[in-house]
Amino acid sequence: MSKVYGFFYKLGAFIEKAAKKVASTAKVLWKKFVENFIKMPLRIMSHPIVGYTEFKEDKKGKLSVAIGMVLIYALLTIIRYNADGIVINAKDPTKFNSIQLLIYTVVPLIILSVANWSITTLMNGKGNMKQIITMGGYSYFPLIVFGIINVILSNFVTVDEAQIITLLSVLSFVLMGYMIFMGLVVIHEYGVAKAILTIILTILATAVILFIALLIFDLSSQIYGFLYSLYKEIVSRFF
């Protein structure tokens, strides 16, 4: 009996120790999550000059957090495809494609970051590619916050009240644009006029990148079609 008692005593002590360790680790992880995914983006949004200065100079802007923001928004977009209320959800469930939604969420950030880096490099911008992508990832914060609010509201509002959701969606994109604009000003150390010019040139550079990408895709499709036809011809003639 004493051995059995000793075994369960040790087992209980081990479980208690493990539980305390898990609780402590969870507390630390939660604190880091709140600091990186909530407090820092809120600081940037409410005090952009100070927030982005800390983001750049004090290395408080983290690429891992930016990637996390984008992935959270991508997950939210996938969830909203079917979770949005019937009042605002006109999507066809049979056409749901999670990979396509993920691409539509991630690819624009990559293309715009490359375009902005190519322009700001020529215009003596101080920011590097990592900082640009990180800044872009943090700017998804208002889309995430208002997206969560909208998916909840959409299941309770009436048709007449649906304009509230539209207003919140517009506000989220305005705040996103504000964060990006202020990010360009602080990270590249630009004035307002030069930042606006940079945005215009970034849009033009994005159009050029997309045009080249479409040309490459079309050329690749033609080459693939030619090689596949040649393969079929060889097979039909010699095999």
Joined together, the tokens standing for residue 150 give: 């909208």
Furthest C-alpha separation in the chain: 85
Instruction: Output the pLDDT for position 137.
Output: 94
Compute the average pLDDT of residues 34-59: 90
Compute the average pLDDT of residues 131-143: 94
Q: Where are the alpha helices (DSSP H) in the chain?
A: 2-34, 40-46, 48-57, 63-83, 98-122, 129-138, 141-153, 163-187, 192-238
Joined together, the tokens standing for residue 133 give: 């992508």
> Cβ distance 50 to 43 under 8 Å?
yes
Rounded to whole angstroms, the Cα distance separating 195 from 173 reads: 18
Amino acid at 124: N
Cβ neighbourhood burial of 196 (10 Å; 0-12, 13-18, 19+): middle
Q: Which distant-in-sequence residues (6+ apart) come within 8 Å of 164 by Cβ?
A: 153, 157
Cβ neighbourhood burial of 186 (10 Å; 0-12, 13-18, 19+): buried
Query: What value does the mean pLDDT of the chain take?
Result: 86
Question: Which residue range is the domain that position 63 belongs to?
Answer: 2-238
Instruction: Output the pLDDT for position 10.
Output: 67
Is residue 91 very low, low, confident or very high in pLDDT (cuts 50, 70, 90)?
confident
Rounded to whole angstroms, the Cα distance separating 107 from 164 reads: 29
Q: What percent of the chain has pLDDT over 70?
A: 94
**Verdict on whether the full-model pTM lies above 0.85:** no
Is residue 82 very low, low, confident or very high in pLDDT (cuts 50, 70, 90)?
confident
Report the 10 Å Cβ neighbour count for 218.
Answer: 10
Q: Which position has the higher pLDDT, 66 or 93?
A: 66
Residues 129-155: b if buried by 16+ CB within 10 A, e if exposed = eebbbbbbbbbbbbbbbbbeebbebbe
Q: Which element (helix H / strand E) includes 79?
A: helix 63-83
Instruction: Output the pLDDT for position 2.
Output: 58
Q: pLDDT by residue (tens digit) across 93-104?
A: 777 787 888 888
Rounded to whole angstroms, the Cα distance separating 83 from 155 reads: 8
Instruction: Output the pLDDT for position 4.
Output: 60
Which one, of 184, 179, 180, lies nearest residue 194 by Cα?
A: 184
> Cβ distance 113 to 43 under 8 Å?
no
Q: pLDDT by residue (tens digit) across 178-212?
A: 999 999 999 998 988 999 999 999 999 999 999 99
Q: How many domains does the chain have?
A: 1
